[in-house]
């Protein structure tokens, strides 16, 4: 049977553009007139040279190898798409690295990428990479691709193009022509079935300098100060910030530091210091350093900074004083790497998490310069041993070996396994002391204590359930089930044996759902939209929550009924009050990068895990509009689920490290690390 649950099935596509400065030998696959023709031509491989690599873009994702973080796009939403046990056959000539297929950009409508500053009317080659891993068969996904508004693929079917195989990369090359202004615009539009998506884009050819000016290969700037020791005077400042000086002697004995005089000046701002470096080689990779020295700190935790280069964070919790070995007036160099955009620009942002933002200098060197080596890590201060108050039973949903692992306090022993013959766990929760599991293979199971004797009730296809992805309850104890295959939400009254009420329909591989006590079912679609269904249910398509929502990835309700939506598309979390369809009452953006999981403790503080900064969880205090009050990094590794215990200990499921970590307040100390019985943990919850 086809894989249908969102966390179990993922869809992949990648794109590459290659410019042909000198004609080479390649396949020609323009505007297939029929589906069969497109399949036949897409099976051909490429030979010949396309010239110098200008850019490789990882659509919807971070920098991976030669593929840089997503850029040059318009519209569409992003998400992770490949499960941990899915392997993509990348044996096709010209296929992208397998990791590029972990994220994508897609839309229920159209979206596009545009490359400017190319040779006017120049000839280029568009390389497309696809792999179908949603479990969709022939004819179930068909979409169109056009270049500069001329169709190049019509009703393209990934599965058929792969020879009726899924998880198989397909590679093709399509010659295209830049318009008279030197632009190539690639548009992806819905065809006969489902919607388009793309994984990555590459551009090859001979770079041309912007406005005829030779691009800079090295840029060294003394922030807030004059030219000194090879560094130019302050330049490229963007926005408001102030300059300052430090008259104390500066220790520059650390690795990769600049001359001491560089650290005697700085630029600062209460929130963010911004630079926008222009005149670089378009799409070129640059290595270098950000230089810091703290003129005022006398202890750790007085100033915490985050910094991004070309849209990617290089640090999210820099304590200059601590990084300098717990010494004042000591230089610290942070290695960086960034890629210039189509205009030859790299933005640099330094943001205050605590204290004020500050930077002494920065340097960029085109990537022919050897990559910088990280500075030696300072010896950390001793951390007090945390005290854990473990009283509840811990449950972990594993994807690596499909099962629920049950741990008795203090969680250090071998778990009891709630085995699955139903596929992988998609959602776990407790209600009235019973455990509810949405298993990926067609059913929701209800387990009574001690949970290991098998379910006492199951809901399956007989009552309208095919691929459950989330469950919730209203104040009347009615069970709501989100089904990613049928695209609908159904309601079941106790004892949950049917029949069902159809709450809402029209969902697209929906991922998340919360249910209010009044029975509002609020759903995050896989295309990043948020839909609310309210009683009395008519089985319709619901009401969109639109204001402030940009490619939503997850959601949660707090005890006061406030709705929090994590917006993967613009790196924010937005807070709403009933009826949730108005403007957000708060928008959190400071320090957030691709939010993927959220939780709230008893104090009402919000914890947000970021996907791009896989080792960081930020804590925000009400009203949530300021900088994070704390940052958790110890033991964090690709968080996908978080939950608080009754004693306010925080538990995280770390998919990248296959661990579950437990933190006691204030959460910044060393965690308890649980590894026994853990295999790609996706879900974590605690008994009531």
pLDDT tens digits, 484-530: 888 889 999 988 887 788 998 988 777 789 999 989 999 988 777 88
Task: Report how far apart the first and last C-alpha atoms of the chain are (Å, whole number).
Answer: 36
Length of the chain: 688
Residue 221, pLDDT > 90, answer yes
Dump pLDDT digits (tens) for 650-662: 999 988 788 899 9
**CB-based contacts of 382, cutoff 8 Å, min separation 6:** none
| Least confidently predicted of 34-48, 316-330, 400-414, 490-504 | 34-48
Q: Report percent pLDDT > 70 for the chain.
A: 84
**Domain 420-545, CATH among 2.30.110.10, 3.40.50.720, 3.10.450.50, 2.120.10.30:** 2.120.10.30
pLDDT at 206 exceeding the cut of 80: no
Q: What is the pLDDT of residue 296?
A: 93
pTM of the model: 0.49
Higher-scoring residue by pLDDT: 370, 421: 421
From 178-187, 330-339, 390-399, 547-556, the region with the lowest mean pLDDT: 178-187
- The yes-or-no answer to whether 212-366 and 391-413+548-688 have a common fold is no
- Whether 24 shows a pLDDT value over 60: the answer reads no
CATH topology for 12-208? Jelly Rolls (2.60.120)
The domain spans of the chain are 12-208, 212-366, 391-413+548-688, 420-545
542-585 confidence digits (pLDDT tens)? 888 878 888 888 899 988 889 999 887 788 899 998 888 888 88
pLDDT on residue 12: 32
Band (343; pLDDT cuts 50, 70, 90): confident
**Mean pLDDT value across the chain:** 79
User: Under DSSP, is residue 262 helix (H, G, I), strand (E, B) or coil?
Assistant: helix
With a cut of 80, say whether residue 648 has pLDDT above it: yes
Rounded percentage of the chain residues whose pLDDT exceeds 90: 19
Mean pLDDT, rounded, for 419-435? 80
Dihedral (Cα; 458, 461, 466, 470), 10-degree rounding: -40
With a cut of 60, say whether residue 13 has pLDDT above it: no
Q: What is the pLDDT of residue 81?
A: 58
Predicted pLDDT of residue 28: 28
| pLDDT score of 79 | 63
pLDDT of the residue at 47: 28
> Any residues with CB less than 8 A from the CB of 479 and at least 6 apart, and which?
436, 444, 459, 471, 472, 473, 491, 492, 493, 494, 496
For position 303, what pLDDT does the model report? 92
Inform me whether the pLDDT recorded for 127 exceeds 90: no
CATH code, 212-366: 2.60.120.430
In angstroms, the CA 466 to CA 469 distance is 10
Percent helix, strand, coil in the chain, to 5, is 5, 40, 55
Kindly indicate the confidence band of residue 82, based on its pLDDT and cuts at 50, 70 and 90: low
Distance of CA 518 to the CA centre of its chain: 32
Residue 187 region, left (φ>0) first, then alpha (ψ -120 to 50), else beta?
A: beta
Ordered alpha helix ranges (H), 247-376: 320-323
Average pLDDT over every residue of 284-292: 91
Contacts of 538 (CB under 8 A, 6+ apart): none
Q: How far apart are CA 285 and CA 64, in angstroms?
A: 13
Topology given in CATH for the domain delimited by 391-413+548-688: Neuraminidase (2.120.10)
Q: Are 662 and 388 in contact (CB under 8 A)?
A: yes
The yes-or-no verdict on residue 1 having pLDDT over 60 is no
Q: Is 647 left (phi over 0), alpha (psi -120 to 50) or beta?
A: alpha
């Amino acid at each position: 049977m086809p894989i249908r649950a969102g966390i179990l099935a993922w869809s992949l596509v990648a794109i590459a553009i290659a410019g042909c400065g000198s004609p080479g030998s390649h396949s020609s696959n323009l505007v297939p007139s029929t589906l069969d023709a497109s399949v036949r031509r897409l099976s051909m491989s490429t030979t010949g040279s396309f010239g110098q690599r200008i850019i490789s873009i990882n659509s919807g994702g971070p920098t991976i190898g030669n593929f840089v973080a997503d850029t040059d796009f318009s519209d569409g939403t992003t998400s992770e798409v490949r499960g941990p046990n899915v392997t993509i056959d990348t044996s096709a000539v010209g296929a992208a690295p397998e990791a590029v297929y972990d994220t994508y950009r897609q839309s229920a409508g159209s979206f596009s990428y545009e490359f400017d500053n190319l040779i006017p009317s120049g000839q280029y080659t568009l390389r497309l990479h696809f792999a179908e891993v949603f479990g969709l068969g022939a004819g179930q996904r068909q979409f169109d691709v056009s270049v500069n508004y001329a169709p190049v693929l019509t009703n393209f079917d990934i599965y058929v193009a792969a020879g009726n195989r899924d998880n198989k990369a397909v590679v093709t090359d399509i010659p295209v022509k830049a318009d008279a202004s030197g632009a190539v615009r690639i548009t992806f539009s819905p065809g006969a079935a489902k919607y388009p998506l793309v994984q990555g884009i590459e551009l090859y050819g001979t770079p041309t300098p912007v406005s005829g000016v030779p691009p800079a290969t090295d840029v060294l700037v003394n922030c807030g100060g004059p030219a000194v020791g090879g560094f130019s005077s302050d330049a490229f400042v963007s926005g408001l910030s102030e300059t300052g000086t430090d008259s104390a002697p500066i220790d520059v004995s650390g690795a990769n530091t600049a001359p001491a005089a560089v650290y005697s000046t700085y630029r600062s701002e209460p929130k963010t210091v911004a630079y926008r470096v222009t005149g670089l080689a378009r799409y070129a990779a640059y290595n270098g350093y950000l230089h810091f020295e703290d003129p005022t700190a006398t202890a750790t935790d007085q100033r915490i900074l985050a910094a991004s280069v070309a849209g990617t964070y290089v640090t999210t919790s820099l304590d200059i004083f601590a990084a300098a070995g717990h010494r004042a007036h000591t230089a610290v160099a942070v290695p960086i790497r960034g890629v210039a955009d189509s205009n030859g620009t790299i933005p640099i942002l330094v943001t205050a998490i605590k204290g004020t933002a500050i930077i002494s200098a920065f340097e960029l060197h085109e990537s022919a310069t050897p990559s910088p080596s990280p500075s030696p890590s300072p010896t950390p201060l001793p951390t007090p041993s945390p005290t854990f108050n473990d009283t509840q039973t811990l449950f972990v949903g594993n994807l690596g070996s499909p099962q629920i692992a049950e741990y008795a306090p203090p969680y250090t022993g071998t778990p009891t396994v709630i085995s699955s013959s139903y596929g992988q766990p998609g959602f776990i929760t407790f209600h009235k002391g019973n455990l509810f599991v949405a298993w990926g293979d067609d059913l929701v199971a209800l387990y009574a204590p001690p949970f290991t004797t098998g379910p006492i009730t199951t809901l399956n296809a007989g009552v309208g359930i095919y691929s459950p992805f989330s469950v919730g309850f209203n104040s009347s104890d009615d069970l709501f089930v989100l089904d990613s295959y049928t695209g609908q939400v159904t309601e079941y009254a106790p004892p949950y044996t049917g029949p069902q009420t159809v709450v809402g329909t029209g969902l697209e591989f929906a991922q998340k759902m919360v249910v209010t006590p009044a029975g509002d079912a609020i759903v995050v679609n896989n295309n990043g939209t948020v839909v609310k269904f309210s009683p009395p249910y008519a089985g319709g398509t619901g009401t969109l929550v639109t204001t402030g929502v940009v490619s939503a990835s997850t959601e949660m309700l707090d005890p006061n009924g406030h709705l929090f939506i994590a917006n993967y598309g613009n790196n924010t979390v937005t807070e709403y009050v009933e009826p949730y369809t108005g403007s957000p009452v708060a928008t959190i953006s400071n320090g957030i990068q691709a939010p993927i999981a959220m939780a709230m403790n008893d104090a009402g503080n919000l914890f947000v895990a970021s996907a791009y900064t896989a080792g960081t969880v930020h804590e925000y205090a009400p009203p949530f509009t300021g900088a994070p009050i704390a940052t958790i990094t110890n033991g964090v590794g690709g968080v996908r689920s978080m939950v608080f215990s009754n004693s306010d200990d925080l538990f995280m499921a770390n998919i990248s490290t296959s661990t579950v970590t437990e933190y006691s307040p204030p959460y910044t100390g060393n965690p308890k690390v649980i590894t026994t019985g853990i295999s790609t943990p996706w879900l974590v919850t605690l008994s009531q």
